[in-house]
């Protein structure tokens, strides 16, 4: 079983966080409709043991903190307007860079890509982000190739997705990459995310 | 501005709750990309002032409780395996029935339909739910017409959606019904939920 750590912070976008949380926590072997054998453990991780206020007011109590969490196989960095305040947060950025040295996969949703860029992980790579920050990201991170109209980009160890709901598609793709398309299709079926089979067939 | 209340409880499914939360909290007038003029206030409401443990382990601190919350224009009941324990919870069921007397819209996602049925709100209506409980729901609530392969059903004051991710589609549809298709399309654009324009065009 792999451990997925999702960083959370004040003004994180709700679906950036919860779309991937849902996908990874629902993923099961093809045809397994039980709860006993999850393929991933999913953890929210914050700087402090305090409730995080997401965009719109959802309140999430983190399950772990930067200074104390199990080893992560997958690190996922969501976006939201709260990312802007974190661009100078060296403690968080160094934690991200440090985790990336040992993760199997490091991924961002939406403007979470800004944090990966700021942590120095995106130079020389093709990435995507929310449409509203594409130009700004290009001007700030000149060594990063920011793609538009792209649901997600797989650069091997690093994946980035477009805005908000695109994190669901990237996560299902990751389930497919790690466990095969049948497991991803079954996971999408459990979620009734019926767009997915058409996408994998293309 | 309308107030949307989302009931939460132990083992609520993450995306059942967070998909609609995202849609309603991101909805803005067409072209408005700011945060100042939301169209909906969204509140999570639980029985007690205590952290709710969702399916997969996400921990949500409710913003209000059954005994103390503002008047609700929209009541939304999500699903998840935790609904099974609530089928005999008269306090909650009576609260749902009581809220329904004054809401503009009462809606369920996934197996949240079981709670609306148990509260007596679905008799004589066409509804939908998660595919895994269709047969069970038909046998238990013989006065309810349970539809399959249906993303959501609009019965006027009551709406029900299929499983998990279908709550996003139902919520965007509700934004469209309440504020027009342009506002719904703009909301979907903000979320990069690019499936939506195709659905509204059909």
Contact call for B131 and A192, based on CB within 8 A: yes
State the SS3 of B14-27.
Answer: HHHHHHHHHHHHHC
Closest chain B CA to residue A37 = B56
Q: Give residue B196's pLDDT.
A: 53
Q: Is B201 exposed, middle or buried (0-12, 13-18, 19+ CB in 10 A)?
A: exposed
Q: How far is A195 from chain B (nearest CA, A)?
A: 8
pLDDT in tens, B108-139: 999 999 999 999 999 999 999 999 999 999 99
- All residues of chain A having their beta carbon less than 8 Å from the beta carbon of residue B110 are 192
Give the residue among A145, A82, A73 at the shortest CA–CA distance from A115: A82
Q: How far is A90 from chain B (nearest CA, A)?
A: 27
Closest chain B CA to residue A44 = B58
Domain boundaries of chain A, sorted by first residue: 2-201
Q: Give residue A199's pLDDT.
A: 45
Q: Give residue A196's pLDDT.
A: 53
> Does domain B2-201 match CATH 3.40.50.880?
yes
Nearest to A51 among B38, B57, B61 (CB): B61
- Provide φ and ψ at B122, rounded to 5°: -110, -5
Strand partners, B42: B4
Give the residue among A168, A138, A137 at the shortest CA–CA distance from A13: A168
What is the spatial distance between Cα A23 and Cα A170, in angstroms, rounded to a whole number?
10
Nearest to A61 among B26, B61, B132 (CB): B61
- All residues of chain B having their beta carbon less than 8 Å from the beta carbon of residue A131 are 192
Residues 6+ apart with CB under 8 A from B194: B188
> What SS3 state is found at A158?
strand
What is the spatial distance between Cα A201 and Cα B153, in angstroms, rounded to a whole number?
28
Q: What is the ipTM of this complex?
A: 0.94
Q: Where are the beta strands (DSSP E) in chain B?
A: 2-7, 40-46, 52-53, 59-60, 64-65, 74-77, 105-109, 126-128, 145-147, 152-155, 158-161
- Residue-wise pLDDT tens for chain B (202 aa)? 999 999 999 999 999 999 999 999 999 999 998 888 999 999 999 999 999 999 999 999 999 999 999 999 999 999 999 999 999 999 999 999 999 999 999 999 999 999 999 999 999 999 999 999 999 999 999 999 999 999 999 999 999 999 999 999 999 999 999 999 999 999 999 999 976 544 443 3
Instruction: Calculate the alpha carbon distances from B154 to B87, B147, B160, B167 in Å.
Output: 24, 12, 7, 13
- All residues of chain A having their beta carbon less than 8 Å from the beta carbon of residue B38 are 56
Q: Give residue B199's pLDDT.
A: 45
Residues in chain A with pLDDT < 70? 195-202
> What SS3 state is found at B110?
coil
């Amino acid at each position: 079983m792999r451990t997925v750590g999702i960083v959370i912070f004040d003004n994180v976008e709700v679906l950036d966080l919860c779309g991937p949380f849902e996908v990874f926590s629902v993923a099961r072997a093809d045809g397994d409709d039980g709860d006993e054998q999850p393929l991933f453990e999913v953890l929210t991780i914050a700087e402090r043991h305090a409730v995080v206020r997401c965009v719109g007011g959802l309140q999430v109590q983190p399950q772990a903190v930067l200074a104390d969490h199990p080893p992560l196989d997958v690190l996922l960095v969501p976006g939201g307007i709260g990312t802007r305040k974190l661009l100078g947060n060296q403690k968080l950025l160094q934690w991200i860079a440090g985790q990336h040295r040992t993760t199997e996969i490091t991924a961002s949703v939406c403007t979470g890509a800004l944090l990966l860029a700021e942590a120095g992980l995106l130079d020389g790579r093709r990435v995507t982000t929310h449409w509203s920050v594409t130009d700004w990201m290009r001007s700030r991170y000149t060594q990063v190739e920011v793609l538009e109209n792209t649901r997600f980009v797989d650069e091997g160890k690093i994946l980035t997705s477009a805005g908000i709901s695109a994190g669901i598609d990237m996560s299902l793709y990751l389930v497919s990459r790690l466990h095969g398309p049948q497991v991803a299709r079954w996971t999408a079926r459990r979620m009734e995310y019926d767009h997915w089979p058409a996408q994998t067939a293309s």
